[in-house]
Amino acid sequence: MRKQLPKGHPKLLNAWAFYDWANSVYSLTIASAIFPIFWGALTIVRGDNDEIISDTVQFMGFAFNNDALISYVTAVAFLVVSIFSPLLSGIADYIGNKKIFLKFFCYLGAFSCIGLYWFSLENLGLSLGFYFLALIGYWSSIVFYNSYLPDIAFPEQQDAISAKGYAMGYIGSVILLIVNLIMVLKYEWFGFADSGAPTRLSFVMVGVWWIVFSQYTYYHLPKGNTQRKLTKNVLLNGFKELKTIWNAMQQSIQLRRYLGAFFVYSMAVQTIMLIATYFGIEELDWGDQDPTTGLIISILLIQLVAVLGAFLTSKASKRYSNITVLIVLNIIWIFICIYAYFITTPLQFYIAAAMVGLVMGGIQSLSRSTYSKFLPEDTKDTASYFSLYDVAEKIGIVIGMFSYGIIAQLTGSVRYSILFLVLFFVIGLLLLFRVPKGEK
């Protein structure tokens, strides 16, 4: 029987970080780049002068705006994750096998990505089902993946290995995206008649990549901290675990105040990441430049700069406290939102994308490792703690997207929605000042 690597072992840390390499292809190809473009091409009817004639989709007997429909499906999926992840993580902690849950949701998400190959308007219910399950699989697996961080790394290692995970994810996802883009844009090189087949094939490649590269992580990660058997009362034990976690958090001012601050500023960060493409399409004058190409360049720029941002933030957190660095990052985000309100040209958009990438990688990796550091000493039920972290992030996304939609509808401009997000960053900033900066 293979001997389990001890906590803090370099090989164990690298195996954990490697899951970011495996799963980040979903967030880039499916959530940000190729699938949104594919969805638009499938649902928008354009005239001879490239003007939009129709962007309406028929579904379940109703007519939906194409962006509204995919937003509704996305929102419902996030709500499902928010509701069920605390229960599942509580069960995982109770039976002592987080890895089986990590595997299940990984395979659910990966095989659903492969199912997107058959996406069509004729079978829209089944097609959106694959999209829905892929999102469920990805975000649910992240709950269990994040919860491993305090199990495999000591506090002084967590900032660096968290940043390394994000960096590996950015690099791996960019590599596959570049391959997919070459296939789509130069489809004739590969013997395809048009870009349709290679676009669908890219979804399959995401699923295969995710499954194959996750095996290295599974080989080295431990099952969990406890070894209790699955019983008929396990569901009740899951809820009891959540109650225990909630009560424990009330006794930790540092953890409670930090989670509140994270909830507020994260809703702005995640919303910006989700709406950036729509902002670029609707608010910029691209002139003779192809908007699709410009948006893809922006996405790649964000991903590459985010690698640098994650490492710079990790270095800064060694010299200053994590909370101090997060305060600085929130201030930078405020300036980015104000700058974005005034941009009109592709060059200005690229500059904004570079700034977003720099602080995006830093704030994501440092937020995760800071939460891990603030957990009570000798915590064994880490999955339940991280499920609350995940729920805060997902509910924040729902609130952020809802606020974005309302402001855009009332004002008729996405610019005002971006400016409104400054409010979330300001409140998050004020809440961060209330977090005690002392770290274990």
pLDDT at residue 206, as a whole number: 95
pLDDT at residue 427, as a whole number: 93
pLDDT tens digits along 167-218: 888 788 889 988 888 888 788 888 888 878 888 999 999 999 999 999 998 8
pLDDT at residue 115, as a whole number: 95
pLDDT at residue 440, as a whole number: 44
pLDDT at residue 27, as a whole number: 85
* Cβ atoms 373, 155 nearer than 8 A: yes
308: number of Cβ within 10 Å: 16
Q: Which domains does the chain have, with CATH numbers?
A: 11-433 (1.20.1250.20)
pLDDT lower than 70: segments of the chain: 1-2, 44-55, 86, 89-96, 224-242, 277-278, 281-283, 286-287, 289-292, 378-384, 387, 405, 408-409, 412-414, 437-440
Distance (Å, rounded) from C-alpha 434 to C-alpha 54?
Answer: 50
Grouping H, G, I as helix, E, B as strand and the rest as coil, residue 59 is: strand
Residues in the chain: 440
pLDDT at residue 335, as a whole number: 93
Distance (Å, rounded) from C-alpha 26 to C-alpha 24?
Answer: 5
388 burial type by CB count under 10 A (0-12 exposed, 13-18 middle, 19+ buried): buried
Q: What is the pTM of this model?
A: 0.77
pLDDT tens digits along 288-343: 766 667 777 787 788 778 778 878 887 888 888 888 899 999 999 999 989 988 88
Residue with tokens 């829209």: 124
